[in-house]
Structure 1
Amino acid sequence: MGSRAAMAPPLGNDVHTSGPGHRRSRRSVLAGFSALGALGALGAAGCTRVAVASGRNGGDLLDRLRAQGVVRLGIAGEIPFGYIDTDGQLTGEAPELAKVIFKRLGVDRVQPVPTEFGSLIPGLNSQQFDVVAAGMYVNPERCEQVIFADPDYQMLDSFIVRKGNPKGLHSYKDVVAKKAKFATGTGYAEIQYAVEAGYEESDILIVPDQVAGLNAVEAGRVDVFAGTALTTREVVKKSTKAEATKPFEPLVKGEPHVDGGAFAFRPTETGLRDAFNAELRKLKKSGELLRILRPFGFTEAEMTDLTAKELCGG
């Protein structure tokens, strides 16, 4: 879960949801990236706190998407969540799920719109794309800006550390207690987790993505980089100097916390969000959701019944 700035996929590359599947394993890399693969940042999510608040019915947008035959997906170039592969094809757990759901909703094609992770919510709300398909975390702060579908997966955290984990870092409390030099990505939820554990926010090294985080650990500029379990273990696969720690639950208000990733919509598009949720529930019930996500490293452990309302804080 190469920097995103290096990615230059064709913005008008429509992908037919009804065509042959383009699923890649989570070992795939982004077009234009190094052999390490290009990892962006998972760690953001949205849903307005009042999930049903809306200025107008999002069904209007769904009608327009059906008429146009294409939906624009905001992606952040992160394996395995949403990226362009070495063949120039849009893939990842969120785009592949979007292809299935939007096909069922009568929209035949998806079109990727790559951007920086921190630009996903602003880009959505300025109508640069129709939906965020980047495995975004649902949290109260983002819930003030966008609305979310229910999570399609849940996720634990993990650290990138030097081989052998010389400082014995297995939690954010360890990072604080051992005065480790800590890094994470722009806009990541991991910033808040570290601060809650007692780490000074001003001391956190913020880097663009997980490849940059790996580089910082390998170079000795930091002791640890925090990200999600899926993306940290992916980015270290070819590293001879770093490894990923065992996944763990961060603490939020003193309690173990499990994150959930979901699709984000503009606050006014409740109709589209609700239609999306209805199809997502069917995929969960039938087990098809896991079959769609499994090629990207997801397992039964990542399946969840969490709701956006729960993760938004009520």
Structure 2
Amino acid sequence: MDRRTYVKTGAGVIAGGLFAGCTGGGSGGEATETSSGDSGSSTTESSDTEATTTESAVPSKVVIGSDIPYRPFEYETTSGELTGFDVDIAAAVFEDQLGIDYEFKPTSFDSIIPSLNNNNFRIIMSAMTINDQRAQEVDFSDPYFTAYQTVIVREGGSISSKADLQGQPIGVQKGTTGANAAEQLKEEFDGDLDLKKYDQISGAFQALINGQVNAIINDNTVNAEFANERDDVVFLEGEGAAAESGQEAPPYLTLTVENYGIAFRQDDDEFRERVNEALATIKDNGTYDEIYSEYFSG
């Protein structure tokens, strides 16, 4: 099977109508901001704008915390332009539907929720999985994407099944649900798993290439983006959480089934409702499918 079909199969549930229902490193961790709205938008938010965002249901400009780079959701091109699935969804929701400017602010993923609650930005769009632990600190939009935690390994290596992971060095990104899935796997192996945690997913990928880890646990779409570029990296196959939950399982091992959402500070209800309406609109009018196809349909 062509590897790029992994991406389409693994993420395609949302395109079928998940809107009806109701987790990589950022520019070295620097607190600089990256503009991604109209070309006329300022790259530095003023204190007046920041004060307004805490009071206005729908601000004139929304600052978005995001962990960059995390291909294909948010990353910079060789020319320095910010792009990705989340970036295009933000443009469709905020610029096209709500008529407001938007700006992405690079933030390390393991500190992104505290940064949100410290008013460093208005929302989080960063391939963030909705889960109960995070929902104690933030409120989520309706789901806008379905993903799986998966395992990639070097092709031709000694790992060909989930059981072969026991005792192996495994790379994960700090603060992600991939790291949580690895911790759960470690418990399943009675502690016999050597977890290597990296600030950025790119660090974990490099460690796999260099032989410092023998596998990586991470979101299927991001793993696929990396595997698509190389001939020596493949998905670990096997049945898993997707099949167990009765979903149409992709052709590789799935450790979890997860939904992504936009995170808001608690009690930012009116803005969240407006964003949910905009998400529903871009799903209904075909914009979501167009963006999805650009990044995930091989």
1:110 aligns with 2:78: no
- Describe the superposition over 1:218-251 as per-residue Cα deviations: whole angstroms up to 9, x where unpaired: 2222221111111112123444543333596548
Q: Which residue does the alignment assign to 1:61?
A: 56
Number of the residue aligned with 1:309: none
Q: Does 1:217 align with 2:239?
A: no
2:35 is equivalent to residue 13 of structure 1: yes
Distance 1:149 1:89, change over 3 A: same
- Classify the secondary structure of the residue corresponding to 1:137: coil
- Once residues 153 and 12 of structure 1 are traced to their aligned partners in structure 2, the CA distance between those partners, rounded to angstroms, is 24
Aligned-residue CA RMSD (Å)? 3.3
Q: Per the alignment, do residues 15 and 123 of structure 1 end up closer, same or farther by CA in structure 2, a change over 3 Å counting? A: same
Residue 183 of structure 1: how far off its partner (Å): 2.1
Distance in 2, matches of 1:103 and 1:2, equals: 25
Residue 111 of structure 1 and its aligned partner are, at CA, apart by 1.1
Question: Match for 1:188: what amino acid?
Answer: T
Who is 1:272 aligned against?
271
Aligned amino acid, residue 230 of structure 1: T
Structure with bigger helix share is 2
Structure 2 SS opposite 1:213:
helix
CA distance in 1, matches of 2:129, 2:210: 29
- Match of 2:57, SS state, is helix
| Counterpart residue number, 2:26 | 4
Contact 1:182–1:204, Cα closer than 8 Å, also in 2? yes
* Alpha-carbon separation, structure 1, partners of 2:239 and 2:109: 23
Q: Give the C-alpha shift of residue 195 in structure 1.
A: 3.1
The one-letter amino acid paired with 1:185 is: Q
Asked if 1:139 is matched to 2:134, the reply is no
Pair 1:258–1:148, CA change in 2 (3 A): same
Structure 2's unaligned 5+ residue stretches are 1-22, 42-52, 246-254
Q: 1:8 Cα deviation (Å)?
A: 6.9
Partner residue of 1:193 out of 170, 181, 199: 181
The Cα of 1:261 is off from its aligned counterpart by: 0.9
Q: How many angstroms apart in 2 are the aligned matches of 1:283 and 1:238?
A: 30
CA distance in 1, matches of 2:105, 2:114: 13
**Aligned residues: percent identity?**
20
- Out of 95, 118, 121, the residue aligned to residue 87 of structure 2 is 95
Letter in 2 for 1:62: A
Gaps of 5+ in 1: 20-57, 300-314
> Match of 2:12?
none
The 3-state SS of whatever aligns with 1:136 is coil
Q: Which amino acid aligns with 1:175?
A: L
> Which residue of structure 1 lines up, in the alignment, with residue 111 of structure 2?
119
Moved more, 203-212 or 92-101: 203-212
Q: Determine whether 1:232 maps to 2:220.
A: no
Post-superposition CA distance 1:124-147 (Å, at most 9, x none): 111111111112111111111111
Pairing 1:175–2:159 present:
no
- Displacement of 1:104 in angstroms is 4.6
Alpha carbons 2:168, 2:193 under 8 Å: kept? no
Name the SS of the counterpart of 1:62 in structure 2: coil
SS of 1:97's partner is: helix
Task: Note the C-alpha offset of 1:257.
Answer: 4.1
Partners of 1:218 and 1:6 in 2: CA distance: 20
Distance of 2:150 and 2:119 partners within structure 1: 33
Once residues 108 and 124 of structure 1 are traced to their aligned partners in structure 2, the CA distance between those partners, rounded to angstroms, is: 19
Counterpart of 1:138 in structure 2: which amino acid? Answer: I
Superposition map of 1:25-40 within 5 A: none
Summarize the Cα distance change of 1:205–1:12 in structure 2 as closer, same or farther, 3 Å threshold. Answer: closer
Encode CA deviations 1:261-304: one digit per residue, 9 max, x unaligned: 111100120111111111212222333212122212268xxxxx
Relative distance call for 1:7 and 1:290 in structure 2 (3 A) is farther
1:163 corresponds to which residue?
Answer: 155
CA distance in 2, matches of 1:235, 1:168: 19
Query: 1:275 & 1:267 partners in 2: Cα distance?
Result: 15
3-state DSSP class of the match of 1:159? strand
> Paired residue for 1:129?
121
The letter of the residue matching 2:75 is Y
